[in-house]
Structure 1
């Protein structure tokens, strides 16, 4: 293993440790636990949160235009999730951690 690989692994472990520190004995941090369990990197997590922000904005715009069904948006979300994450687990964890609640409440209808 070269020094770059070691540094990458250390950074991943540091990120997971920060998430774990928040999650210790707190069941409300289900999303953080899922990210650690799924070995998601900090970059992947940032991309995931950006995806959720974008999806939330699109959903609000669609609601304003009178849309009632968001299955196509859910399908896009699923297709853009990191392959390490399961959509059912993500939606459930987000709802338990109270993250992106309106968006995940809609997506929960399509699980």
Structure 2
């Protein structure tokens, strides 16, 4: 039974990656999707990543409104939430190239360079 569950999981991962590949055919600059496929990240992990980015983006906007100019605590929160297979620098750069959460990742890019 375990092998069947594992097989179903692998098929779901392949189907998800196939959907991403089809999107990449139309727009080859989707670097974050490429990274997801290369690292074998699941759809659930990407959904969790998007939820975290949404949350961090809201926190950053609130902090900016309060006059904050440094966002290292948010960056640390981001680092702690990344799947182990992903490298923070690769994620930040690929998201910037794909224009995902641009404001957030521009700030995180500064944290990488500090």
TM-score by length of 1: 0.95
* Within-5 A mapping of 1:69-80: 69-80=70-81
Runs (4 or more) in structure 1 with deviation over 6 Å come to: none
Partner of residue 101, structure 1: 102
* Helix, strand or coil at the partner of 2:27: coil
User: In the alignment, which residue of structure 1 is the partner of 2:84?
Assistant: 83
Unaligned runs of 5+ in 2: none
Q: Give the Cα–Cα distance (whole angstroms) in 2 for the partners of residues 94 and 27 of structure 1.
A: 14
CA distance in 2, matches of 1:25, 1:42: 20
**Structure 1 residues 52-106: Cα deviation after superposition (integer angstroms, max 9, x where no partner):** 0011000001001110000111111111111111110000000000010000000
Give the equivalent residue in structure 2 for 1:35: 36
List aligned pairs for 1:13-32, cutoff 5 A.
13-24=14-25, 26-32=27-33
| 1:8-43 Cα distance to aligned partner (Å, 9 max, x none) | 110000000001111127332001001111100011
* 2:40 alignment partner, SS class: coil
Task: Identify the residue that residue 66 of structure 2 maps to in structure 1.
Answer: 65
Q: How many equivalent pairs are there?
A: 111
CA RMSD of aligned residues (A): 1.2
Q: Which runs of 5+ in 1 are unaligned?
A: none
